[in-house]
Structure 1
Amino acid sequence: MRRIHNVFHLWTALAVRLLLLGVTMAVWPSAVHADAEASSDVPVTFTLSIKTSPSAKYETSETYDRADWRRAWTKAKTAELAEPSSVYTDTYIEVADEGGKRQYAMRADGVLFEAATGKTVTLSVKVRKTWRTNAAKLRKRHYGEIVDWDEAKSRLPLKAVVAVVDMETGLSFRAQRRAGSSHADVQPLTREDTAVMKQIYGGTWSWKRRAIVVVPEDGEQRVAASMHGMPHGGDGIPDNGFSGHFCIHFRGSATHGSGKTDLSHQLMVYKAAGRLSELYQAATPEQLAEYVFDALHQQDEAVLRAALQGTPSETLQTFLTWFAKIDALRIASMKPGDPHDGQVTAEVPLKVVWNGRGGGVRLESVRLLFVRENAHSPWVVTSFETGKK
């Protein structure tokens, strides 16, 4: 009887363990195999990707099948964010196991974030360090290098043919530099190239700026740049289906009319280099306000989200509401900011003129509030207040 009693308890304990394991599976599918020793036989792959936005079709990725990552995955710690805020990243991980595939964004510290659930997933320090290292290598392959205009124009002499790669769609076409002293005046090489360029712009020519990578014929260097999509001015290549030329800007290039750098183009150059966060972290509140509203004007959500890194989710949603209703926008007036040395809060009042997607023009007073942890930390937008005038 004693032996029967012991067997009963053994089976009871096993049943309880299986029940608990079932609960674990319901909460976190990738933690099915709780025994780390047995996990090496379970098929789990990790695909690390770099792209400028979650919806970008152009990405550089690599898939890994590593036993140490699989073991670490079974021990992953999950948590819910108590105070959700906007997270901008260009790094994503897809985890594929017997339960299917799950998509995560990866923060700068290697912690994974699932936007749909608001949960974070944390693996060991060693694995996260490896992820960051591998992501840095992929980033070098994906983005272009920032090159000042004085150097870019010597690398791309007149009549040089380059490949232009759009950072969102991944579409590419050939173009030739025909002129331009302050930036490159460029034309698609053939009718086929013109058709691809127009496809990038959704079938309609536009002045909107887009982040691109310019690749010379030798393919030795990928250069971060920005283009618009509006044929204008002089022509030079017959029968290419493009009446005029378009412009490509690099860091420090200027418009031929004003002789000044174009903010929209410069932001796109940094996007094409994967260095938006670096630019924003060094910005004053006034500069950051300009970046935010220029992103609204250009209708580039990735540039907007990068500028709003760390912004409370409620404030981010206010900006996204504006994003959905605006067709064009410009800052009508903004007072020069006082020095913010030593301050940890700031306020930027301004007026903007915007065109709605359904028509109509409005002048609106706006007030942005900023905070930072200390005098050396980057500024973060915390509030977006409006009032019609």
Structure 2
Amino acid sequence: MKKTLLLVFLFICLSQKQALAANDQPRPHISFQPVLLSWDVVNEIIPRKSSFAVIDIDSGQSFKVQRRAGSGHADVQPLTKDDTKIMKKIYNGKWSWRRRAVFILIDDQLIPASMHGMPHGAGAIQNGFPGHFCIHFSGSTTHRTRKFDLSHHVMILKAAGKFDDYTASLSAEEILNIFLITAKNHDKELMEGISISNMNKNDGSYNVLNNIEGMKWTIKKSQEDHDFPLVSTFPVETKIYLDEVGPVKITQTFTLIRTSLFSPWKVMRDPFVTELAENGR
């Protein structure tokens, strides 16, 4: 019980510290309001062969694409070789399946969306891009499973400014799953919003997240303390492909904590980052 109370106290202190730090961060200025639209609506706005701009939210860089195909989401290609170069720069010079939050700008409409950065399949434009890539919108599905992609969904919510509202009422297990998605996508901003840490994020401790090339996981049954339901733990088996290291398997117990029965769950992320760093050496 003393250990649990100490965790709660630590959580409160760290949450207040992180909230103050977040208020000091500058936010990019958008000249008009993004509108979250369903895929059924967007499908009509960007018909096949239409061209539009993709704006990467984190970097602020933009490039143009043309929609070529896609029924459950948009299959697109960069419009020119210069657009391909910009897109690859956004992904730090290396194509990746990682999802990124973006806006689609067409005419006077700014639409939240999510893209990945991996060329695949066919491509018909002479643009130096070997195939096409996917852009998902609210309500989009994958073409293989016909189900929505949670990793894309998280990034769409980030683009729409609705991520915090979405995570506020999730269960501990659901928050942990979202946390692991943010790690896979190298999104430290979202990760920090649903977790707590005693590490100094400016000392390079989290750079190891940039080495994640791929990641899968299985969350086991909760070891929840029913006498004190503000703490929950989950054993998790992860298979992670680390750049310059290769595949590693990590079995670890994650601890989540909240300040009241009505507060959102937060993941204690330091053990995960430490384990990654040790395996990445």
Normalised-by-shorter TM-score class: 0.7 to 0.9
Residue 172 and residue 314 in structure 1: after superposition, are their counterparts in 2 closer, same or farther (change >3 A)?
closer
Matched residue SS, 1:147: coil
2:256 counterpart (370, 375, 389) = 370
Residue by residue over 1:176-220, the C-alpha shift from the partner in whole angstroms, topping out at 9 and shown as x without a partner, is 11111111001112222222222222222222211110011x22x
Residue 192 and residue 160 in structure 1: after superposition, are their counterparts in 2 closer, same or farther (change >3 A)?
same
Residue number in structure 1 paired with 2:73: 183
Residue number in structure 1 paired with 2:130: 243
Residue number in structure 2 paired with 1:227: 115
- Cα distance in 2, alignment partners of residues 140 and 337 from structure 1: 44
1:164 CA drift (Å): 0.6
2:40 counterpart (150, 164, 176) = 150
1:257 counterpart (140, 144, 163) = 144
Residue number in structure 1 paired with 2:241: 355
Alignment of 1:313 onto 2:207? no
- Cα distance in 2, alignment partners of residues 355 and 367 from structure 1: 19
Matched residue SS, 1:164: strand
Matched residue SS, 1:305: helix
- Cα distance in 1, alignment partners of residues 81 and 42 from structure 2: 26
TM-score by length of 1: 0.58
- Which structure 2 residue ranges, 5 or more long, are not aligned? 1-11
Residue by residue over 1:93-144, the C-alpha shift from the partner in whole angstroms, topping out at 9 and shown as x without a partner, is xxxxxxxxxxx348xxxxxxxxxxxxxxxxxxxxxxxxxxxx8xx8764773
1:225 CA drift (Å): 0.6
Residue number in structure 2 paired with 1:30: none
Matched residue SS, 2:13: coil
**Amino acid corresponding to residue 293 of structure 1 in structure 2:** L
Matched residue SS, 1:293: helix
Residue number in structure 1 paired with 2:8: none
Alignment of 1:301 onto 2:191? no
**Amino acid corresponding to residue 188 of structure 1 in structure 2:** P
Residue by residue over 1:264-287, the C-alpha shift from the partner in whole angstroms, topping out at 9 and shown as x without a partner, is 211111121222222221221111
**Amino acid corresponding to residue 89 of structure 2 in structure 1:** Q
Residue by residue over 1:6-38, the C-alpha shift from the partner in whole angstroms, topping out at 9 and shown as x without a partner, is xxxxxxxxxxxxxxxxxxxxxxxxxxxxxxxxx
> Whose radius of gyration is greater, 1 or 2?
1
2:160 counterpart (265, 273, 276) = 273
Matched residue SS, 1:208: strand
- Superposition CA RMSD, Å: 3.3
- Cα distance in 2, alignment partners of residues 89 and 140 from structure 1: 23
Instruction: Give the fraction of aligned pairs with identical amino acids, expressed as a percent.
Output: 33
Q: How does 1:42-61 map to 2 (within 5 A)?
A: none
Residue number in structure 1 paired with 2:84: 194
Residue number in structure 1 paired with 2:94: 204
Residue by residue over 1:319-351, the C-alpha shift from the partner in whole angstroms, topping out at 9 and shown as x without a partner, is 83752654432113434899x9x9433222221
Matched residue SS, 2:267: strand
1:359 CA drift (Å): 0.9
1:256 CA drift (Å): 0.8
Q: Does the CA-based 8 Å contact 1:335-1:350 persist in structure 2? A: no
Residue by residue over 1:228-275, the C-alpha shift from the partner in whole angstroms, topping out at 9 and shown as x without a partner, is 1122112233x2222321100112211111222222211111121222
Residue 105 and residue 228 in structure 1: after superposition, are their counterparts in 2 closer, same or farther (change >3 A)?
closer
- Cα distance in 1, alignment partners of residues 211 and 95 from structure 2: 21
1:368 CA drift (Å): 1.8
Matched residue SS, 1:323: helix
**Amino acid corresponding to residue 372 of structure 1 in structure 2:** R
- Cα distance in 2, alignment partners of residues 242 and 360 from structure 1: 26
Residue 285 and residue 236 in structure 1: after superposition, are their counterparts in 2 closer, same or farther (change >3 A)?
same
Residue number in structure 1 paired with 2:13: 83
Residue 283 and residue 346 in structure 1: after superposition, are their counterparts in 2 closer, same or farther (change >3 A)?
same
Matched residue SS, 1:204: coil
Q: Does the CA-based 8 Å contact 1:367-1:384 persist in structure 2? A: no
- Cα distance in 2, alignment partners of residues 312 and 292 from structure 1: 13
Aligned residues: 259
